[in-house]
């Protein structure tokens, strides 16, 4: 199973990035290998629509779970149309959040946070 | 004949000058400042018709869609997302370019107009009045400006009120203009923004001249620049508390005797240049 | 979950200073007021000029450039003339009239091209590609009022909202506490300026136009979950309209944090490249100081 988290840096010890669409990096944790891989967030530089773009990234990476601070209304709408489950951050580092998820200590995201924009 | 009024900096008196010149000459008035269209406050038109303005957005026929992803891959605005189960469309991100329907090999996309604003068409005195109004919360102003401009008859005498600034909305407004009047004010801010506006009208090869509004002892800030760049100064409107008051009440400057004479002169000076 | 109640999605806690100054209508005194606030607030708070069409905050704050970098904010189509067979397909599908014919060659007008990709997709010879376009420079400065992030937009460039987003992003990277000079209007650029700000200060003036535009821009602020504040600049030009604005603000739940009288010292200050608050005894400076106190009270009250 693959878990996607917003990450402030592209290193294993990183803090989580609270933002979804505009997170600096994405960390993908594989529960089989217990290893992290990192990817740049190409969605964050667009002015408009970072949320849906980021959701597309998550879909294309084939993740099963998203852990983030908040999903905007558009990103949530996308995620609801997939089998991906989303949970709210609880903890500072990537590992704390992964551990909390594996121990059922994260709350699912059911409602959207405020929208962001630009363009 | 199309004369456009623009300003670079907002609030320099672009609408004040354009409405008064239009009124004095009985020229048609087109408000392309669709984010903040305020010309109607002064010209007090009667509106006869309201036209819906918008862009075409895709609608996916799920029976025909094979999730091939071509539309998603080609869209530059992130307006389409492939969830693996369906293609989702985010209309508010769509620029209505049609790239998705061009990309679709399965005839699964149709395009439906989505409203972004409206165009009001009417008359003031005996001339035409047209204004575009962008709906609040819609980011795309250019399609509404395009719809206003479709109604311009180049054979008639028209005044066009441009948005402030120098971005894409201004470029769209400037297209097909015969002459541009750049309204500025004698402040450092006015000068800085005037330079940007001059860059754009030169780039678009439109003949232009400058009007200094709220003229004061500081006019040299602007005139020094105009001289160094060999730019034509059409005229000045002096600063006056009475003018500010008239504006705040939504009244025309030409209702005031002194301003009537000034605007008459300014108007002649502008038209003289356009006719050249 | 209580840890997250004070966090919004931009990662800024609600009691941090994160204020965008906007106006709807241009020329109401937005930049003049922002420049004064820039000197009044903590020096550590980063100042960002998101009015990219008219980036004038730097004129008053002056200072040294620390860093300047090109920003690629758009794409435009480029036709490879060697491959083109002049079929005209690109012109047919372009909805922005951005393809011109010059000397029987098809040429893209960069000012009109939106970089939408339609011509690229349609070209049967693969002779067109999208290339990245620089839309302006992003500039970091060290000023008397602390760090300033500003820009130099290429006039007429596409996607000014993206440049706004970039200026805001660079500012927020320096410090999550920011004072932003926003864009006028209600379109993409102002949305990009307001997004992620805890508070928005609407600078209005007592004119019919100022009143109409304030109401429109308020809806943007409310939509982005930013707390609206208002200041009536030049309120004594027309006190009846000023009262009308006050009543409307009350009805909409906008807190009025100040009323600034008309003062000719303001233009004098701008033309001397000084913030108006340096003219300590001027009517406008006194009112702006008062306004700043009120803004701080509102922000602290959010704790």
Judged by CB atoms closer than 8 Å, whether chains meet at B248 and C189 is answered as no
Q: Where are the domains of chain A?
A: 2-102
Q: Quote the pTM value.
A: 0.89
> What pLDDT does residue A119 have?
35
**pLDDT over 90 for what percent of chain B?**
91
What tens digit of pLDDT does each residue of A51-89 get?
899 999 999 999 999 999 989 889 999 999 999 999 999
Collect contacts of B132-137 with beta carbons under 8 A, ≥24 apart. B132/B31, B132/B32, B132/B34, B132/B37, B132/B53, B133/B34, B133/B37, B134/B34, B134/B35, B134/C186, B134/C187, B136/C186, B136/C216, B136/C219, B136/C220, B137/C219, B137/C220, B137/C223
> What pLDDT does residue C6 have?
34
- CA dihedral angle for residue B6, residue B9, residue B15, residue B20, rounded to 10 degrees: -80
Q: How many residues does chain C have?
A: 303
Which of A46, A56, A61 should we substitute to test contact with B (largest number of B Cβ atoms within 10 Å)? A56
> What pLDDT does residue B8 have?
86
Pairing of strands C227-233, C199-204: parallel
Judged by CB atoms closer than 8 Å, whether chains meet at B167 and C153 is answered as yes
ipTM computed for the complex:
0.88
> What pLDDT does residue C3 have?
30
For B78, the closest of A53, A59, A117 (CB atoms) is: A53
Indicate the pLDDT class of residue B217, thresholds 50, 70 and 90.
Answer: very high
Contacts of B85 in chain A (CB under 8 A): 81-82
> What pLDDT does residue B214 have?
94
C-alpha span between B142 and B146 (Å, rounded): 6
DSSP state string for C110-145: TTT----SHHHHH-TT--EEEEEEEEEEEEEEEETT
Mean pLDDT over residues B59-86, rounded?
96
> What pLDDT does residue C1 have?
29
**pLDDT over 70 for what percent of chain C?**
95
> What pLDDT does residue C159 have?
75
Q: What is the DSSP letter of B276?
A: -
pLDDT surpassing 50 at residue B253: yes
**Which residue, C159, C116, A46, is CA-closest to B102?**
C116
Would you call B41 helix, strand, or coil by DSSP? helix
Indicate the pLDDT class of residue B139, thresholds 50, 70 and 90.
Answer: confident
Contacts of C191 in chain A (CB under 8 A): 117-119
Q: Does C164 touch chain A (CB under 8 A)?
A: yes
**Rounded to a whole number, what is the distance in Å from the CA of A112 to chain B's nearest CA?**
16
pLDDT surpassing 60 at residue B46: yes
Q: Which domains, and CATH codes, for chain B?
A: 2-53+116-275 (3.40.50.300), 62-107 (3.30.70.20)
Largest CA distance in chain C: 71
Per-10-residue mean pLDDT, chain C, length 303? 34 75 93 97 96 93 95 94 97 96 95 94 97 95 97 86 91 93 90 90 96 93 91 96 97 97 94 95 98 95 59
**Rounded to a whole number, what is the distance in Å from the CA of B139 to chain A's nearest CA?**
7
Q: Does C10 touch chain A (CB under 8 A)?
A: yes
Judged by CB atoms closer than 8 Å, whether chains meet at B189 and C56 is answered as yes
C-alpha span between C6 and B13 (Å, rounded): 43
C-alpha span between B14 and B11 (Å, rounded): 7
> What pLDDT does residue A73 have?
87
- CA dihedral angle for residue C182, residue C184, residue C187, residue C190, rounded to 10 degrees: 10
> What pLDDT does residue A113 have?
67
Q: Does A117 touch chain C (CB under 8 A)?
A: yes
Helical spans, DSSP H, in C175-276 = 188-194, 208-223, 239-252, 265-271
Contacts of A89 in chain C (CB under 8 A): 4
Residue C203 phi, psi dihedral angles, 5° rounding: -95, 115
- Chain C's closest residue to A20, CA to CA, is C9
For B90, the closest of A52, A81, A119 (CB atoms) is: A52
Which of A78, A80, A115 should we substitute to test contact with B (largest number of B Cβ atoms within 10 Å)? A78
What tens digit of pLDDT does each residue of B162-172 get?
999 898 899 99
C-alpha span between C48 and C42 (Å, rounded): 14
Q: Which domains, and CATH codes, for chain C?
A: 2-62+144-301 (3.40.50.300), 73-133 (3.30.70.20)
Looking at 3.30.420.130, 3.50.50.60, 3.30.1360.120, 3.30.70.120, the CATH number of the domain A2-102 comes to 3.30.420.130
Name residues 23-62 of chain A within 8 A of C (Cβ).
45-48
- Chain B's closest residue to C188, CA to CA, is B139
């Amino acid at each position: 199973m693959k878990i996607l988290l917003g990450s402030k840096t592209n290193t294993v010890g990183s803090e989580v990035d609270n933002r979804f669409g505009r997170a600096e990096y994405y960390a993908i944790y594989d529960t089989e290998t217990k290893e992290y891989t990192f990817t740049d967030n190409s969605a964050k530089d667009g002015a408009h629509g970072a949320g849906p773009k980021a959701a597309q990234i998550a879909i294309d990476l084939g993740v099963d779970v998203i852990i983030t601070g908040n999903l905007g209304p558009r990103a949530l709408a996308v995620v609801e149309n997939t089998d991906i489950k989303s949970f709210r951050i609880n903890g500072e580092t990537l590992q704390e959040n992964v551990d909390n998820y594996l121990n059922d200590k994260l709350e699912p995201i059911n409602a959207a946070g405020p929208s962001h924009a630009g363009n | 004949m199309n004369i456009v009024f623009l300003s670079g900096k907002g609030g320099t008196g672009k609408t004040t000058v354009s409405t008064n010149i239009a009124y004095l000459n009985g020229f048609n008035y087109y408000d392309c400042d669709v984010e903040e269209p305020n010309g109607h406050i002064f010209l007090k038109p009667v509106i006869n018709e309201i036209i819906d303005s918008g862009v075409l957005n895709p609608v996916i026929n799920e029976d025909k869609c094979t999730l091939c992803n071509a539309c998603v891959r080609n869209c530059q605005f992130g307006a389409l997302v492939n969830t693996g189960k369906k293609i989702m469309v985010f209309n508010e991100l769509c620029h209505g370019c049609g790239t998705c329907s061009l990309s679709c090999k399965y005839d699964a996309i149709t395009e439906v107009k989505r409203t972004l604003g409206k165009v009001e068409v009417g008359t003031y005195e005996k001339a035409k009045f047209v204004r575009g109004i962008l709906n609040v919360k819609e980011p795309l102003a250019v399609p509404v400006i395009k719809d206003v401009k479709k109604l311009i008859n180049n054979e008639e005498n028209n005044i066009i009120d441009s948005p402030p600034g120098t971005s894409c909305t201004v470029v769209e407004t400037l297209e097909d203009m015969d002459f541009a009047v750049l309204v500025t004010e004698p402040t450092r801010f006015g000068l800085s923004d005037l330079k940007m506006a001059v860059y754009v009208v030169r780039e678009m090869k439109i003949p232009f001249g400058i009007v200094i509004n709220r003229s004061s002892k500081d006019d040299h800030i602007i005139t020094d620049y105009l001289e160094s760049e060999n730019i034509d100064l059409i005229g000045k409107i002096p600063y006056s508390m009475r003018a500010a008051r008239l504006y705040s009440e939504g009244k025309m400057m030409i209702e005031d005797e002194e301003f009537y004479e000034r605007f008459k002169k300014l108007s002649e000076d502008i038209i003289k240049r356009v006719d050249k | 979950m209580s840890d997250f109640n004070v966090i919004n999605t931009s990662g800024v806690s609600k009691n941090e200073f994160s204020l965008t100054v906007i106006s709807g209508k241009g020329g109401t005194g937005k930049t003049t007021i922002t420049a004064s606030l820039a000197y009044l607030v903590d020096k550590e708070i980063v100042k960002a000029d998101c009015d990219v069409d008219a980036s004038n905050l730097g004129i008053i704050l002056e200072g040294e450039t620390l860093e300047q970098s090109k920003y690629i904010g758009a794409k435009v189509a480029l036709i490879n003339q060697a491959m083109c067979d002049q079929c005209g397909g690109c012109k047919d599908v372009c909805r922005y009239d951005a393809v011109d014919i010059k000397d029987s060659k098809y040429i893209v007008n960069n000012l009109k091209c939106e970089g939408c990709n339609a011509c690229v997709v349609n070209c049967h010879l693969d002779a067109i590609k999208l290339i990245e376009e620089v839309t302006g420079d992003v500039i970091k400065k060290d000023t008397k009022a602390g760090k300033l992030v500003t820009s130099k937009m290429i006039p007429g460039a596409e996607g000014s909202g993206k440049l706004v987003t970039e200026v805001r992003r660079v500012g927020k990277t320096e410090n999550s506490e920011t004072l932003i000079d926003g864009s006028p209007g209600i379109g993409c650029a102002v949305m990009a300026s307001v997004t992620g700000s805890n508070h928005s200060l609407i600078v209005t003036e007592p004119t019919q136009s100022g009143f109409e535009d304030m109401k429109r821009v308020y809806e943007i602020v409310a939509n982005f979950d930013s707390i609206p504040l208002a200041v009536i600049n030049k309120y004594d030009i027309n006190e009846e309209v000023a009262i009308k604005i006050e009543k409307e603000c009350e009805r909409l739940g906008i807190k009025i944090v100040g009323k600034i009288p008309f003062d000719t010292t303001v233009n004098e200050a701008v033309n001397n490249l000084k913030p108006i608050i340096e003219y300590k005894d001027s009517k406008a400076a006194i009112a702006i100081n008062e306004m700043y106190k009120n803004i701080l009270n509102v922000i602290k009250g959010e704790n």
